[in-house]
Structure 1
Amino acid sequence: MSLPGMQLELTRNEEGISKTIALLTERFGERCQTSMSLREQHGHTTSWLSNQPPDAVVFAQSTEEVCEIVKLCARLRVPLIPFGSGSSLEGHLNAPYGGISLDLSQMNQIVAIHAEDLDCVVQPGVTRKQLNAYLRDTGLFFPIDPGADATIGGMAATRASGTNAVLYGTMKDMVLALSVVMPDGSLVKTGSRAKKSSAGYDLTRLMVGSEGTLGIITEITLKLKGIPEAISGGIASFDSISDCCNTVIEAVQYGIPIARIELLDALTVQSVNAYSQLCLPESPLLLVEFHGSEASVREQAERFGEIAAENSLKKFEWTTDPEERSRLWAARHDAYWAGLGLAPERTGLSTDVCVPISRLADCVTATHEDIEKNGLIGPLVGHVGDGNFHVLVLTDMSDAADIAKTEAFVERLNYRAIEMGGTCTGEHGVGQGKMKYLPTEHGAGVDVMAAIKRSLDPLNIMNPGKIIALDTK
């Protein structure tokens, strides 16, 4: 089966791969593994693209070891695919040319916390939950929350965001500097702890979102934020998806500093109620959160309620109780697994797009109509405060017609978002699955990306077959 963005003409360096595995086994012993189960786990996890496992998995424990591994792979011209926690969705971890999966999960040390400067330095295997647990007594937190307990290195590599992005931004806004092992094995520092700089090219931003195709991140310097004095959250249910979207648009345009605002369509609410044992109204719903002082969060909630009331609001409830808020957000983060429960015999394809906030209602409404018109099962959720939403299409992988219908829908969705001035992915990244949409979105910019890739990685060993298709012969 041919899926969007996949390369079918693959070239493997059999001799180089064999020599590399032998040398890695000699050097790292049991930290170099070739069992099929582990290789398949490192090929992909939550992607519906066909599994293309690496030939071996090696576990690095230091920057020096990463440099050593990269130099070996460069000498023998063997692909390297960096691995964090395996939560990516677009085939980022597949090994279409074989090679070595470089697992960075054991590089999980929090190197330094500079509370007075609101920053920290961590290794790439540190997860966001691990970091926030460590920070709890400092009064600080790391706000980027993609839902999954992803590693910080993986979040930087894919330019992750999530539920807090509307207030705190995305990974590109939170990363101050990186240590990156380049394709020749050399180590580069992309910046400093200074909050701003005009010194040369912005290499940090180049590497954030490069998906392991330009280098391997081994240390990250992050901005931190103060834990808010007060947090309030609530739900607002409506008769229609368009009422939800119009409420979001008006709230953002009025300048209400919403920390989180998530859209759940009626089908998603139904699945979440069943999975998380909640009793939310089974109609289109917004899940909202406000951060600030006691007085400000109350004022923000009241003003939001007034705007919602002008858009056929059915029900609005809000709370400052931490347990109640945590229960709601845990249910939102479990929406993917809840959605799969709607049709357990089917496979889920999760895709995302992002549009300018003024086009949100148009894009979401058109997408919902597309789902219904084509008889698809596709619960829809979104970080709609910044115009980003996701669809989980449940597909019968034994039915060629159903697969074709799903592929056609995903293609229409991506081109629809691009035509509205948006992007084919707000946070999932490109990987293999979104490659075909880049020429439409970026035009000649794709040639510039390819030139950068060729310049920095002339042997094309860094996660080849992702973002940019290059000839590897």
Structure 2
Amino acid sequence: MPIADFVLSELRGVLGDRLSTGDSERAIHGASETFHQAPPPDAVAFPLTTQEVSAVLRICNAHGVPVIGWGTGTSLEGHALAVRGGLVLDMMRMDKVLEVRPEDMLAVVQPGVTREALNTELRATGLMFPVDPGANASLGGMASTRASGTTAVRYGTMRQNVLGLEAVLADGTIIRTGSRAAKSSAGYDLTALLVGSEGTLGIITELTLRLHGQPEDISAAVCAFPTLEDAVNCVAQTMQMGIPMARIEFMDAMAMRAVNLHMGSSYPEQPHLMVEFNGSPEAVKRDAELFGAIAGDHHGQGFAWATSLAERNRLWAARHASYYAALKLRPGATGISTDICVPMSELPAAVAAASADMQATGLLGDVVGHVGDGNFHVLMLLEPGNQQEMAIAKGVAERMAHRAIAVGGTISGEHGIGIGKRGLMEAQHGPAWAVMGAIKRTLDPNNIMNPGKMVPDMN
């Protein structure tokens, strides 16, 4: 049911012309990075303060209007689609870095600050915020989806790097969680509850983030392997030996073909590892030599080291471009991207099984991943509107997920749940999924916060 005119009038009383019902804004905020689709929202709001967010939620809660948080819109599982209509709350105008405390190695930011903007702000401090999901996502969106990325193997995900936050609950209540202290044993960890809740429990309006020192020295390399198994076994042995990798990324032969097409590069069309080492010059040299020996044991070949910033940027541009590069393998195709995460001991078998399953179906696609923490992605390229191919691709994704669950892994290491993986939640969590639903009912009894996502349907 569309938002009633009198409710829109109340919202305009709070936001003025920062409430839009125009077709263009609604269309922008009804789009998805992937194949997931839903009708556009009924309206889009652009708050500037926590108090405005609180006032908007009080109005929407009183009238049963769904509210969906929005950052840069780069999520991959339809997290921010208005599947039941309602109001999209675009947080990107709340984009201030409020405080940087170098002595405490933390920063306080509004949710619309992007990770690149924060790191630009930090350049003179000798500190950095390392979580890198690839896209220049908003930090509020990254917290809401518990994002990670290429550097998680060394620096952790958003779960480890959000110390505290301010959030507005469904009824407009403003809460603060966590602290600026290094540790706390004071009560429930509400920060961890809200990080990764995908906007189903509240709207994040401020974040206190852990910062890290910029490394003294950085070295990166790319290395080809004759087989997928050689590359992934190399990863497993590297991590088991405790080498402190800053990044260790896998790209299969098809992904390298796509990168060559996209970037005009000439990498061998074989499975590759892309690695990075951070630390003192001595530590970087030692760690790189250890990794090189392990890679040699697994038939690694053609090491190309990159020590200058320009060389490293070119190397990692290949990895970050992998999604859009893959689309060139089948021009006009729609991409279905899915991810799982498994214990490191299970990684070689999981990657091999996913690759074999995709090849057996005849679908074109590739496998890439942040394999240093057991997380990898499969991208399948489909003809738009081809329901038979869509059904085959969903079957591949579901089998990946069930294999991950069977070995103690998870249905998603970083893409999150959204609408794409909600149907797999019970298989992973069992009765605990109902507990998540009970938490949702307690904090959002009218089910206005991003309904149709994450938890079981509410009665």
SS across alignment from 2:352: helix
CA shift for structure 1 position 26: 4.3
Q: Is 1:408 the counterpart of 2:395 in the alignment?
A: yes
Q: Is 1:155 the counterpart of 2:142 in the alignment?
A: yes
* Cα distance in 1 between the residues matched to 2:316 and 2:4: 44
Matched with 1:112 is 99
**Aligned residue identity for 2:306:** T
Matched with 1:398 is 385
SS across alignment from 2:81: coil
- Name the % identity: 49
SS across alignment from 1:272: helix
Q: Is 1:194 the counterpart of 2:181 in the alignment?
A: yes
* Cα distance in 1 between the residues matched to 2:134 and 2:246: 15
* Cα distance in 1 between the residues matched to 2:248 and 2:8: 47
| From 318, 330, 340, the counterpart of 1:343 | 330
CA shift for structure 1 position 317: 2.1
**C-alpha contact 2:167 2:206 (8 A) present in aligned 1:** yes
Alignment of 1:246-261 (within 5 A): 246-261=233-248
**C-alpha contact 2:335 2:379 (8 A) present in aligned 1:** yes
Alignment of 1:449-460 (within 5 A): 449-460=436-447
Alignment of 1:345-424 (within 5 A): 345-424=332-411
Q: Deviations over 1:170-218 (max 9, x none)?
A: 0000000000101110100012111100000000000000000001000
| From 274, 281, 284, the counterpart of 2:261 | 274
CA shift for structure 1 position 17: 4.1
**C-alpha contact 2:434 2:456 (8 A) present in aligned 1:** no
* Cα distance in 2 between the residues matched to 1:443 and 1:404: 25
Matched with 2:30 is 43
SS across alignment from 2:10: helix
* TM score, norm. by length of structure 2: 0.98
Matched with 2:420 is 433
Matched with 2:230 is 243
**C-alpha contact 2:236 2:344 (8 A) present in aligned 1:** yes
Matched with 1:6 is none
| From 88, 100, 114, the counterpart of 1:101 | 88
**Aligned residue identity for 1:154:** G
CA shift for structure 1 position 312: 1.5
* Cα distance in 2 between the residues matched to 1:333 and 1:53: 29
* Cα distance in 2 between the residues matched to 1:46 and 1:18: 31
**C-alpha contact 2:170 2:443 (8 A) present in aligned 1:** yes
Q: Deviations over 1:110-144 (max 9, x none)?
A: 00000001001000000000000010110000000
Matched with 1:78 is 65
Matched with 2:215 is 228
Matched with 1:468 is 455
User: How many residues are paired up?
Assistant: 459
Detail structure 1 runs of 4+ shifted over 6 Å in the superposition. none
Matched with 2:199 is 212
* Cα distance in 1 between the residues matched to 2:215 and 2:113: 23
CA shift for structure 1 position 67: 0.5
CA shift for structure 1 position 319: 2.4
Matched with 2:130 is 143
* Cα distance in 2 between the residues matched to 1:398 and 1:45: 16
Q: Deviations over 1:375-405 (max 9, x none)?
A: 0111111000000011111111332211111
**Aligned residue identity for 1:198:** S
Matched with 1:33 is 20
Q: Is 1:285 the counterpart of 2:278 in the alignment?
A: no
* Cα distance in 1 between the residues matched to 2:40 and 2:439: 27
* Cα distance in 2 between the residues matched to 1:80 and 1:253: 45
Gaps of 5+ in 1: 1-11
Of the structure 1 ranges 85-94 and 415-424, higher mean CA displacement relative to structure 2 is found in 415-424
Give the RMSD, CA atoms, in angstroms: 1.1
* Cα distance in 1 between the residues matched to 2:406 and 2:321: 31
**Aligned residue identity for 1:88:** S
* TM score, norm. by length of structure 1: 0.95
Q: Deviations over 1:244-267 (max 9, x none)?
A: 110000000001000000000011
**Aligned residue identity for 2:303:** F
